[in-house]
Amino acid sequence: MAPTKNDEKPQPGDLIEIFRSGYQHWAIYVGNGFVVHLAPPTEHANAGACSMISVTCDRATVKKEEIWNVVGSDKYSINNLLDENYEPRPIREILREAESLVGNKLPYCVFRGNCEHFVTELRYGKPESRQVRKAMEIGVGVGVAAIVGFGVLALAATLFGSKDKEKQTK
C-alpha cells in the first residue's frame, strides 16, 4: 500500500489526490476507509497510461470503494486544495450528497466535468480543476512561445534578407 505524503489519516470530507502516471485522480474520503469518486470506465488503480483514454469518455460512474482499492500502489495525499479560497461545506452535507450520488452515471468531460471537478464541487460547492487550469496554461504558453518563435524567425529572415539585398546592390 502506498503511503500518503505525511502518513496523515484522512478525515471525512477530505480530498484525496492520487498520483497516477501522467495525471492525478481525485476522490473524497467518506470515512471507515472508503472514498467516493467519479470514475470513467478506464479509471482503476494501476491503470497507468490506459486510463488516459478517459478523455474519450462522455459518462462516468460515481463509485464508493475502499481507499486502498482506488489508490493501489500509487502514492496519494490529502489535498484540500481550495480551503484558502472557499469555505468547505458542512461535513454532513458533503457526505450525504456523496453517498446519494453513488451508482449514478454522470456526464464526464476531462475539461469541464472530471473527477477533480466532482470532488471540489462536493467539498466547496464549486467545480474546479487545477489540472485543467495547468494544462490550459501550458497549452497557452506553448502557443505563445510558438508565435513568438515564428515572429523572431520572420524578423530574422527580414533582417538577413535585407542585408543580402544590400550586398547584391553593391
Give every CB contact of residue 141 below 8 A, 6+ residues apart in sequence: none
Q: Is 44 a catalytic residue?
A: no
C-alpha cell at 137: 496554461
- The catalytic position among 50, 57, 115, 117 is 115
In the sheet with 75-78, reading across from the earlier edge strand, the strands are 75-78, 15-20, 23-31, 34-39, 59-66, 105-107
CA of 81: how far to CAs of 21, 90, 123, in Å?
20, 17, 10
- The catalytic position among 25, 50, 109, 117 is 25
- The catalytic position among 37, 50, 57, 109 is 37
Q: Is 117 a catalytic residue?
A: no
Q: Is 25 a catalytic residue?
A: yes
Catalytic positions, written as ranges: 25, 37, 115
